[in-house]
Structure 1
Amino acid sequence: MSRSVYRFATFRLDVAARELHSGGKLLTVSPKVFDGLVWLIEHRERAVGRDELIAAIWGRVDVTDAQLGQLIRKLRRVVGDAGEGQSMVRTVPRFGYRWVAETRLADAGDAVVESPPPGRTPRRIAAAVAAAVLALAVVLGAWLWHARPALDAKDAVAVLPVAVEPEADPESAWLRLGLMDQIAERLREAGLRVVPSGNIAATARNDGTPLLGEQRVGAATGAGRFVVATTRRVAAGWVSRIEWRDADRVLREVEANGDSAVAATRQAGNRLLLALGRPAGTDVEQGDAPNEQWLQRIDAAVLDTDFTTARSLLDEAPADLRGTPAWLLRRADVDLATERMEAARAGYLELLGRLPAIDATTHARALIGLSGPVAQAGDLAAAQRSLGEAIGLLRGMNAPQLLGEAFYGRGLFRMVQGDLDDAEADFSQARIALELAGDSLQLARLQGQQATLLALRNRHAESLAMWNAAADRFERFGDAEKFVDALGNCATEQLYLLQPQGALATVRRAEPWLARLDHPLSEALFGFTFARVLALNGRTREAREKFQSLLGSAASAEIVGMPAAVQVELAQLDFEQGDAASAARRAEAAMRALADPALASTLYARIRNSGWLVLSRSLRATAAAKTETAPGRLDAPSNDAGIGAIYRNLVEAETRWPVDPAAATRAYEASLAAAKGAGAPADVAEVVVSWGMALIRAGQASKATTVVGQVADWAGEDFACAVLQARLYLALRQPEAFARAYAAAQRLAGERPLPGDLLAASTQLR
């Protein structure tokens, strides 16, 4: 079998040997940087999404964008790629990265041959979606025996970190989360819907406090019932008290004594279950054994993301605990969390090698864990099979959190491979499972993925609703980076939906959180969205200042395509303010930059087509355009399915209208049909405003009513639609209707100038 050896610049990358040479010298490269380099090179025919790269490198999805950004910066330093030049790794705005260096594939002996980029994975047939829907019905049918059908978050129980007295007790640090998790698991086994302990621990970390109150936890998780526990050392051992609360009322209270905090809390937990009419265990159980307590210590350290302590506890475990399935599973989980992928893979395989001796839950957890290292090694198909096997095991069990994780992971890998229909089906099933589990934090991450899929399908209203829900959840958990990113996506969707004022309120909501960000690229991307929102609300000076600051930003320079996108927006501002010559210069420079093959992705389709439209309009408005026959100096963007058809036909219509109105009308009709079929309200309005104005100027006001009426519902929020409506009423000689429309346009204008004919007509009406 041949080995993959890649050549680029002065570098030689041997994938199998995990070696990177430069000029014949072996370089020292960290495992994660090497993995990221291989993944980008092996998928260089396309842009690689951030989630895909995280899954491929870390084998899990709970890695922050800041961590990924740090890794990319290290990767660039290794290959000598300056952030400003991006000659090897380009940043793709709001998506991920792409390898752009000229790269050749050689054999292990360095006989160089050209390497065609690998092909895309074909999308599954639509029948798979129907099968997934059927599978969902089966899953729900099985759960009806184990879980209540109502998914009201207030039905969930949140167990708060346990207060340990005295706080200076040597064991207080682990007992705080360890006992919390013990109580939560006990309640879960008794059939109650309990918020995952990881959600509580994450909230505590974001708040920087070891203990949390009901109000804070309720705000984060949506839970309506709470368990508040205290354990304290006394002369005769330990005393644990547990309160069952609903809002600020104590509904039940129990207390128990024990030789240890664990034993006392376990006894108190049993008494609470009896008080609630739930099945409880005995006061002394296997859970009080030293090995069980040792495992609890490990679990508490993992909840606190203290993996150093967790690994020490694993290494120092009693001899009779080491090598057991419970110990093996925790060791593999810690290896996975600390990015020791080969060790994690070996651990999960060792565990699976003990079948059928291990229980079904351990079997499923091992399969879910194994999918990460397998995906990181590049075998996404095997990772999906591992998760599919876990799903099969979990369907008949009362383990919704694990089932939700399995569906989420498989959906993510399917989305990475382009199987959008199958990914959507998996995400839908994951959502049901995670709601049953009360896992609000993972639900927020899931909602972001679902919103992205909806936006890709031009279902912008649904995408906005999903992003809003995700933003609310991230806000409750105090996750600044993901909250700001979600709000940026919300504002973008609102602009597509012609809701500029709503978008302004959205970005204002993010402002207090910006100081908590420590990720320049995220700040630059949000700044671009903020500037667009300001521009579309008539805050022209402020918008221009933000765009100009982005042009001079080092972070913006690291994002491939950002300077061109900013120039397109500035060209639009110039054109609206009557400076067609400047608009043409900016737009032409932007279009030349956007012609870079690295930006061929459909992610840049709107930027390309917006740039081409403003270039075409500004050229026609300048004296130079009078001698040109083409609508612009550059060819129309190609291969932009859906969106491209809208703008190609629109530019053709605007160009032909003065000389061939019939041909222009056909082009307008085609453009509008494409906008309604594959565009957003903003695209529909772009076509209607252009066509309606052409008809009004041609003296065809009656015919214009049919066209203009299609944006009447948006005239109350969108400036261009309001201006169009005012011009129509003026042409139809309807003074009262004109006055109302003019008032709306005046209200929405901001710093944008109102057309002279409308100003004159308004003066005459006074």
Structure 2
Amino acid sequence: MLYRFADVCLDSASRLICGPDGPVTVPKRVFDCLAYLVEHRDRAVARDELILHVWNRPNVSDTQLAQTVLRARRLLADDGVEQRLIRTVPGFGYHWVGPVQVVETAEDAAAAPEEPVPAVESLALSLPDIASAPADSMPPAAAVLLAAGSLPMARPSRRSERRRIGWSLAAIAAIALLVLLSNFVPVYLPAGASAAATTGKIIVLPVEIEAAAGTDSAWARLGLMDLIAARLRAEGLVVPPSESVLAALAAARENRIDLPLRPQDLRAELLIQPRLSRLASGWQLSLEGRRANGIDLALQQQHAQILDAAVAASDALLASLGRARGSERTAQDETALRVRAGLLGNELDSIREWLQALPPAQRMERNTRYLAAELDYRAGRLAESRSALDALLLDPHVDEDATFRGRVLVARGSIAMRQRDYSGSEKDFAAAIAALDGTTAGRDLGRALMGRGGIALQQLRLEQAGNDLSRARDLLDAAGDDLGVARAEVNLALLQRRGGRPLEALEQLQAAATRFGNYAAINELSATLAGIIDLQCSLLRWDDALASSERAQLLLARLPDKQLRARLLQGRIEVLTGLGRLSEAQQALDSLALVGASGSGEIARGALLAAELALARGEPVRAAQLAQPLLALAQSADTRESAFHAAALLQRARPELAQQDLLPGIAPEAEPRDCVQAIIVRARRLQGQQRNAEAETLLRRGLALTLTSRDLREQRSVAEVLSALLLQQGRSVEAMEALAPLALLVPRDFDTALLFAGLHREMADINAWQFDLHKAAALAGERTLPQHLTAPLIAAGAATPAELAHATP
């Protein structure tokens, strides 16, 4: 059967998908997922049903399913916000809702007519899940507008790509770039053909060494682990990096998983436990394998030398797995293994001493020079490390080995990125990609692509960033590098956020957080949670943000990074303020003061959060005092956006300042591009000068920007000023239209409920006004309702202020 939709033709019989430019390569599970949803488009498909069909087993996480659906959406230029083709059914599964033309094959010789599916109208362009909102939670005015189909449904433009991504998400951008920098990899074996791997994930555990083996063999615990893993990886098996395995073991200990570990404890198909024993004639290395299906294996090899025993055992293991004999080791294997063991065990000083004691000829070997450069890098000696790699790349023998040259370029590009030499970094990553493309070094190529994609993202070359980062994620996934996949997910989330797809960004950040949590990667997990909290706040999902903040609170005591602790506390202050839990917000603010903040941007954010808290408490004078000093930040382009945030807050705290130029000397062309707060500040000033038409034009531009970015927090800010301007002119219907996309936020956001209460009061709509005030009272927490909104209207049936203050929804 052929199915035509969205410029795509899906042939279920031949398992082929064709786009406008011909056949498209699609992963098996993405094809199965897409075909099943299209074939069952007459109904919603439950998550469990879809999992069983695509994976043929029930024990698949929601994250894996969400990632597969995400890839299917990308293939069709659909996303989690618009959901034009694949709609998420909250709490149930997914439903294909796009038009489909069914064409039977030539055997049947009949064509089916197009089968359109009626589109579901949406009240809020930025809130795709509102179709599932209960009827009794819908504001009366919104219900009427929905029934009448009278809301403006213009699609937001994709014109503007440079937009605010939030302080915490900007911090994620920095973390996402920095996590690329651990790009030194073992050099003593060629990389495996990761993309061609045909078995499940294999994890090699640290070697257990008998006490009688002696202290001189201690390096073998991690060194042989790394060697065995590399030899398996070299023959196309999916074997995670040793760093990831050690992190997973640390996470298992934290989660108090009982020993011995099972494959499912580490999300693997096979666990290999090596054991090293000293014999009278040499060494014995035993390998015990535990499979997820319960079929175990055991083998052992004996040799006079440790490395010979390890190589023989690895070859025997490969044979038992149906693979060819492993690659020959080189003369520098023991040197590399000792260094790798020291690096994995973070024994930098002892490894440096050991390297310096090597004979001069061996120190000049290219592998040893590479390892010395890695040691300098790990010790923070970036200039020395880069200089060593520069010299290494001048060695003519390096050009003879494309894989080795690619690895050196990736390492140098990572150092250049950390030194903020983005031009040099991008050149190195591009050269590494050229060297590694076509080799079997899938993991190395994935890291190079992630580096180049991260720089393209930072410079807003979004198409290139998307191509590089998506390909990097697939390569790292095929290589079994879960932490690498998580880092790619963070970068892809930033791409989605910049592209105005916050829900997809949220999905990817949550998937990355799960992976980081699985490996006890505390710094990356904390930074990712900070981004999740910021996104949830931007969507005014206060309860979700609180749950994320509670999770982050559990990490605070274990975080050595003061900057990350500050970011998590800043997110918590915003969440608690948004929920009206002002006493707890003050406690978090006090904790932030104890932690301290570094950098003008972080300090500014802390001061702005303190000012917002003061406003929520009804202390405008205090809020103005906190915001006023931040205006000086306008003198630097790097902090100018924070200055406009402060100016907008100052205008709210002291309305009489609206017509003043709070940021003199900053011409419109010098304002941060597409900064919504800058637009609000300038519009309020124009309004104070009675230039209402110009103010309205500016605010409508700002509203269009927020519809594109789908930032509900900023959309609410612009709509508040625009609706007030329109109401002053008696244009209540237009004011309603400006606020209408936010209507379904009334039951969950205090400030939005107050906005609608003010609107409906001006319109003398008593029922809607009372509904809004009931919701606001329920959401108030420690905040008070403004007296000008609660004063009774002169109309029968209107509630008194006392009744409203104690009302329940």
**TM, length-normalised to structure 1:** 0.69
Partner amino acid for 1:614? L
Correspondent of 1:298 among 333, 339, 344: 339
**2:769 equivalent to 1:745:** no
Deviation at 1:682, TM superposition (A): 1.1
Counterpart of 2:753 in structure 1 is 722
Correspondent of 1:61 among 181, 192, 209: 181
Deviation at 1:352, TM superposition (A): 4.5
Following superposition of structure 1 onto structure 2, how do residues 416-427 of structure 1 map, counting pairs within 5 Å?
Answer: 422-427=464-469
1:331-361 Cα distance to aligned partner (Å, 9 max, x none): 3433443426446634653464233784332
Distance 1:762 1:180, change over 3 A: farther
1:225-267 Cα distance to aligned partner (Å, 9 max, x none): 3222223334554433323333483433333333344333433
Q: State how far apart, in whole Å, the 1-side matches of 2:460 and 2:690 are.
A: 44
**2:281 equivalent to 1:240:** no
Counterpart of 2:737 in structure 1 is 706
Gaps of 5+ in 1: 1-48, 64-142
Q: State how far apart, in whole Å, the 1-side matches of 2:487 and 2:179 are.
A: 16
Secondary structure of 2:271's counterpart equals strand
Q: State how far apart, in whole Å, the 1-side matches of 2:689 and 2:504 are.
A: 40
Counterpart of 1:630 in structure 2 is 659
1:669-707 Cα distance to aligned partner (Å, 9 max, x none): 333223324562211112224444666687765554433
Partner amino acid for 1:429? R
Q: State how far apart, in whole Å, the 1-side matches of 2:323 and 2:695 are.
A: 74
Counterpart of 2:200 in structure 1 is 155
Correspondent of 2:558 among 510, 513, 516: 516
Counterpart of 1:434 in structure 2 is 476
Distance 1:424 1:349, change over 3 A: farther
Partner amino acid for 2:717? E
Q: State how far apart, in whole Å, the 1-side matches of 2:625 and 2:363 are.
A: 70
Distance 1:216 1:677, change over 3 A: farther
**2:623 equivalent to 1:583:** yes
Following superposition of structure 1 onto structure 2, how do residues 406-417 of structure 1 map, counting pairs within 5 Å?
Answer: 406-412=448-454
Counterpart of 2:652 in structure 1 is 617
Deviation at 1:710, TM superposition (A): 0.8
Deviation at 1:535, TM superposition (A): 0.7
**TM, length-normalised to structure 2:** 0.65
Partner amino acid for 1:249? G
Distance 1:482 1:323, change over 3 A: same
Partner amino acid for 1:61? L
Secondary structure of 2:396's counterpart equals coil
1:488-546 Cα distance to aligned partner (Å, 9 max, x none): 22211211121122111111101121111223333233322221221111111222343
Deviation at 1:315, TM superposition (A): 3.9
Partner amino acid for 1:720? D
Corresponding pairs, count = 617
Partner amino acid for 2:195? A
Distance 1:629 1:176, change over 3 A: closer
Contact kept, 8 Å, 1:494 with 1:502, in 2: the verdict is: yes
Distance 1:346 1:569, change over 3 A: closer
**2:231 equivalent to 1:186:** yes
Deviation at 1:573, TM superposition (A): 3.5
Correspondent of 1:468 among 506, 510, 526: 510
Distance 1:732 1:202, change over 3 A: same
Counterpart of 1:594 in structure 2 is 633
Counterpart of 2:679 in structure 1 is 648
Counterpart of 2:600 in structure 1 is 560
Counterpart of 2:242 in structure 1 is 197
Distance 1:641 1:173, change over 3 A: same
Q: State how far apart, in whole Å, the 1-side matches of 2:348 and 2:694 are.
A: 69
Secondary structure of 1:498's counterpart equals coil
Contact kept, 8 Å, 2:661 with 2:685, in 1: the verdict is: no
Partner amino acid for 2:608? V
Contact kept, 8 Å, 1:619 with 1:632, in 2: the verdict is: no
Deviation at 1:658, TM superposition (A): 11
Q: State how far apart, in whole Å, the 1-side matches of 2:174 and 2:743 are.
A: 44
Deviation at 1:50, TM superposition (A): 9.0
Counterpart of 1:387 in structure 2 is 429
Deviation at 1:475, TM superposition (A): 2.3
Q: State how far apart, in whole Å, the 2-side matches of 1:758 and 1:368 are.
A: 63
Distance 1:646 1:55, change over 3 A: closer
Secondary structure of 2:368's counterpart equals helix
Deviation at 1:548, TM superposition (A): 5.3
Deviation at 1:414, TM superposition (A): 5.2
Partner amino acid for 1:277? G
Following superposition of structure 1 onto structure 2, how do residues 46-445 of structure 1 map, counting pairs within 5 Å?
Answer: 61-62=181-182, 147-148=195-196, 155-166=200-211, 169-203=214-248, 222-247=267-292, 249-280=294-325, 287=329, 291-317=332-358, 323-338=364-379, 339=381, 341-342=383-384, 345-346=387-388, 349-350=391-392, 352-355=394-397, 358-371=400-413, 380-412=422-454, 422-445=464-487
Contact kept, 8 Å, 1:219 with 1:476, in 2: the verdict is: no
Q: State how far apart, in whole Å, the 1-side matches of 2:226 and 2:548 are.
A: 37
Q: State how far apart, in whole Å, the 2-side matches of 1:744 and 1:636 are.
A: 43
Secondary structure of 2:579's counterpart equals coil
Distance 1:202 1:318, change over 3 A: farther
Partner amino acid for 1:672? L
Secondary structure of 1:249's counterpart equals coil
**2:589 equivalent to 1:540:** no
Contact kept, 8 Å, 2:719 with 2:739, in 1: the verdict is: yes
Deviation at 1:193, TM superposition (A): 1.2
Q: State how far apart, in whole Å, the 2-side matches of 1:526 and 1:249 are.
A: 43
Q: State how far apart, in whole Å, the 2-side matches of 1:549 and 1:486 are.
A: 21
Partner amino acid for 1:398? T
Q: State how far apart, in whole Å, the 1-side matches of 2:392 and 2:617 are.
A: 68
Secondary structure of 1:517's counterpart equals coil
Q: State how far apart, in whole Å, the 2-side matches of 1:675 and 1:275 are.
A: 59
Distance 1:244 1:714, change over 3 A: farther
Counterpart of 1:504 in structure 2 is 546
Question: Which shows bigger deviation, 658-667 or 196-205?
Answer: 658-667
Q: State how far apart, in whole Å, the 2-side matches of 1:386 and 1:212 are.
A: 42
Deviation at 1:395, TM superposition (A): 0.8
Distance 1:636 1:497, change over 3 A: farther
Partner amino acid for 2:653? S
Contact kept, 8 Å, 1:328 with 1:351, in 2: the verdict is: no
Distance 1:55 1:340, change over 3 A: farther
1:520-577 Cα distance to aligned partner (Å, 9 max, x none): 3332333222212211111112223433564x55723x43255544443343344444
Secondary structure of 1:687's counterpart equals helix
Distance 1:342 1:563, change over 3 A: closer
Gaps of 5+ in 2: 1-169, 184-190, 793-797
Q: State how far apart, in whole Å, the 2-side matches of 1:254 and 1:403 are.
A: 34
Question: Which shows bigger deviation, 607-616 or 232-241?
Answer: 232-241
Deviation at 1:457, TM superposition (A): 5.3
Secondary structure of 1:461's counterpart equals helix
Distance 1:215 1:395, change over 3 A: farther
Contact kept, 8 Å, 1:201 with 1:304, in 2: the verdict is: no
